[in-house]
Amino acid sequence: MAGHAASIVSPKIFRALGFTLPETAVAIALLHRGSGRASEIAQDVRIPRQTTYSILAKLVHDGLVTPTSGKGVRRFTLDYGQLMHYIEERKDELERIRESLRNGYAPSVAIQESQSRLPRVAYYEGATGLGHLFESMLEVYRKGKSKKFRGYGINFLASTRGLEDYVRSFLEERGRLGVSADLFIARGPDDFKITNESSRLGRNIKHLDIDEQNAGIYLVGNRVYLFSFKENVGVVVENQAIAEFLKNAFDDHWAKSA
């Protein structure tokens, strides 16, 4: 799928979006691969590794490329869905600027007002897509924007269907970042293996009187993540008002639960 997407995306598209020739080459190479290390992309485009890494860091900052890490290996991902989402965001930004000019507001004011009122929604599928979403949670914590994780989740990591090893490394990294995690799961056994503080990884678990589930709802910063591990699909909604309401409701539920 990644190679097919790259074959129908012309470099002219990236140039029209304002990317330089080296940035365009890196984006196209990554789109062909779907996922790759900086050294692999550097070899593909014949650009020094450090230059390639700097370009990838810029594309991550711009919101086009997603970084992932697992087992000490840092990788970068870009697929057709991410590119389309990036283009939609650019289109929305230009529309807000156009409206600001029409109404006489400064563009920065118009963009800030619009962003505070309109939710941002993104959809991902497959193990790689869900990996993007877990990595985006870690990015929130790495930036110091939050140190709290709230969620309704699954009892067994094996239920993540192809993501089990990644989720384990996610839990370890989240704990290393000093995040406190409150998680509701269904009644019955689980495989979280919390035996002492070192294995707790900042996690606090409570059980609901429901059957085991194949889905999860996670609240991180101003984002709400909805996962279905049965179909391996995920949706993230980014909106302060929605997230605050759900976090307050979660905290009330947590406080009243045994």
**Facing residues of 149 across strands?**
181
Taking a C-beta distance cutoff of 8 angstroms, is the pair 1, 124 a contact?
no
- Residue 118: what pLDDT? 59
246 CB neighbour count, 10 Å cutoff: 15
SS3 of residue 224 by DSSP = strand
For the chain, give every domain's residue range. 2-78, 81-117, 120-256
- Residue 102: what pLDDT? 72
- Residue 4: what pLDDT? 46
**Facing residues of 180 across strands?**
148
Of 244 and 191, the one with more pLDDT: 244
Average pLDDT over residues 35-47: 93
Task: Indicate the range of 80-89, 196-205, 240-249 predicted with least confidence.
Answer: 80-89
The dihedral built from the CA positions of residue 238, 121, 177 and 258, taken in this order, carries a sign that is positive
For 2-78, CATH gives 1.10.10.10
Helix ranges (H only) for 63-201 are: 80-103, 107-117, 126-142, 164-176, 197-200
Strands 180-186 and 203-208: parallel
pLDDT tens per residue across span 223-233? 999 999 888 88
Q: How confident is the model at residue 70 (pLDDT cuts 50, 70, 90)?
A: low
Q: Could you tell me the strand order of the sheet in which 66-70 lies?
A: 35-36, 73-77, 66-70
Q: Does domain 120-256 have CATH number 1.10.1740.10?
A: no
Taking a C-beta distance cutoff of 8 angstroms, is the pair 146, 221 a contact?
yes
* Structure tokens belonging to residue 123: 């959809």
Of 177 and 3, the one with more pLDDT: 177
Q: What average pLDDT does the chain have?
A: 85
